[in-house]
Amino acid sequence: NAGVTQTPKFRILKIGQSMTLQCTQDMNHNYMYWYRQDPGMGLKLIYYSVGAGITDKGEVPNGYNVSRSTTEDFPLRLELAAPSQTSVYFCASSYGLNTEAFFGQGTRLTVV
Amino acid sequence: QKEVEQNSGPLSVPEGAIASLNCTYSDRGSQSFFWYRQYSGKSPELIMFIYSNGDKEDGRFTAQLNKASQYVSLLIRDSQPSDSATYLCAVPRIDSGGGADGLTFGKGTHLIIQP
């Protein structure tokens, strides 16, 4: 019973590098989300998707891009990494609007 | 800007006592409320949700909702050291068109249960 799977778990990037955080879910959820969590702060929504082919910006989208070609996958792309993107990134999915969100294990990203 | 406010703590409670965690929210249209527990270095996991005014009990956990006061709380009875974690209050974000765009989270309350 995999749920939401994120890879990698840890990554160190140099300033200006790019990378893709992978996220896949096997619960057939329409809604998927990317959050970032900085120390002592709540989770901030980066991007979300309400179904395959549909994505939209959340609260803090600058410096990120997403795509949703299938129901299962929702990768997050970081272009030109900056130290301000050092954070823990969580992917999540949910069945509906007012239902529980299930979270992946998180990716701890450091930009140096 | 829709806000969810929590006291960041730490809240220190003796083992066996009742831990009371509080959350206020700004959007009067909010319909559902979630409490997540997050252990250090782990991902959030749902422990309670509540939609209606009043109390909802699940084992040692009770969620209380007062929509008139825009206040939701979580009580943990017979607190155990394993309850030591950060507790996040979350409310669905609803845009002007009634669509979903994720959850708004509070910053979380760090709870410490003292043996």
pLDDT in tens, B35-88: 999 999 999 999 999 999 999 999 999 999 999 999 999 999 999 999 999 999
Most confident of A32-41, B9-18, B87-96: B9-18
Q: How many Cβ atoms from other residues are within 10 Å of residue A71's Cβ?
A: 19
Quote the pLDDT of residue A39. 85
Quote the pLDDT of residue A42. 85
Provide, as residue numbers in chain A, all residues whose Cβ is less than 8 Å from the Cβ of B107.
40-42
Cβ contact B20:B9 at 8 Å? no
Contact B88 A41 (CB under 8 A): no
Higher pLDDT, A79 or A22: A22
> Mean pLDDT across the stretch A24-47?
93
Query: What is the three-state SS of chain A?
Result: CCCEEEECCEEEECCCCCEEEEEEECCCCCEEEEEEECCCCCEEEEEEEEECCEEEECCCCCCEEECCCCCCECCEEECCCCHHHCEEEEEEEECCCCCCEEECCCEEEEEC
Contact A50 B100 (CB under 8 A): yes
Whether A51 contacts chain B with CB within 8 A: no
Quote the pLDDT of residue B98. 67
* Nearest CB to A42 within list B32, B93, B106: B106
Rounded CA gap, B20 and B73, in Å? 7
Could you check whether the bond before residue B10 is cis, i.e. omega within 30 degrees of 0?
yes
Quote the pLDDT of residue A23. 98
